[in-house]
Amino acid sequence: MNTTPASSVEMKDVHLAFGEKEILSGINLSVPQKARLVILGQSGGGKSTLLRLILGILRPTKGEVTFKGLTVSRMSRLRLNRMRQKIGMVYQYSALISSLSVRDNLALPLEELTRKSRDEIDQLVDEKLELVGMADARDKMPAELSGGMRKRIGLARGIIMDPELILYDEPSAGLDPVISSVINELIISLSEKIGATSIIVTHEMDSAFKVATHMAMLYQGTIIAADTPERFKNSDNPVVAQFIAGETEGPILQAPQKT
């Protein structure tokens, strides 16, 4: 009997508050396995906070976050670290260690978390760099790379452990349209090649509709819509419609913001 959960990640009535300041309120979200879920929302609205809850960096004030059916907030530090080995994280600004070469940036998690030999690690590094079209950058330092190149190296590092889940925090932020398209295509191809579930946080519409198989919108601390990209485009929710269109007229600017 197959007991594998249908969802990779689930959030059930998740609340998060820091003192009296409520950040998230009643989040309910289910991410199917191998889906590419794009989470939309305003800047500073809590999208990246959702990623930190999934990683167990933050714990909900109320509710449950589960990964592969296991409750993240109930895990010991040892089990959390084991879980995180199955999750790749791609940061907004790549977060490469400036004093390490590209090879050593990618090799670091393998050296710290596995018992692989140097030859095995080098083979994996070369394989992942090839996947993102950066094989020639192996011996370069981060300072020698353009912004788009650093993004691709960040992608390669995010999949170095062959994760089952990849989290992307604004992966195309600050890039020109051409390089943004390259990153979008890489997100799609990597998810398909390694069979991983992807959660992508962004407020850039072109990227969102390019990569998503599923979409959700976070607004004033809760998920107000979760559906297919096509239905999002035709949503009759006035907040969703205004956000996608980028209009100045509508409920987003009129509504009081959370403090």
Residue 196 lies in a domain: no
Is 14:64 a contact under the CB 8 Å cutoff? Answer: yes
DSSP annotation of 136 reads G
Q: What is the pLDDT of residue 95?
A: 84
Residue 225 lies in a domain: no
Residue 228 lies in a domain: no
Torsions phi, psi of 38, nearest 5?
-100, 125
DSSP annotation of 6 reads S
Range of the domain at 156: 96-162
Residue 24 lies in a domain: no
Residue 68 lies in a domain: no
Beta pairing, strands 62-67 & 214-219: unpaired
> Which stretches in the chain have pLDDT values below 50?
1-4, 259
**pTM for the full model?**
0.90
Q: What are 169-179's pLDDT values in tens digits?
A: 988 887 888 88
Q: What is the pLDDT of residue 253?
A: 76
- Distance, first Cα to last Cα, the chain: 48
Residue 210 lies in a domain: no
Instruction: State the total domains in the chain.
Output: 1
Residue 154 lies in a domain: yes
Residue 32 lies in a domain: no
What's the CA gap between 210 and 187, in Å, rounded?
10
Is 197:118 a contact under the CB 8 Å cutoff? Answer: no
Q: What is the pLDDT of residue 257?
A: 53
Q: What are 110-126's pLDDT values in tens digits?
A: 998 889 999 999 999 99
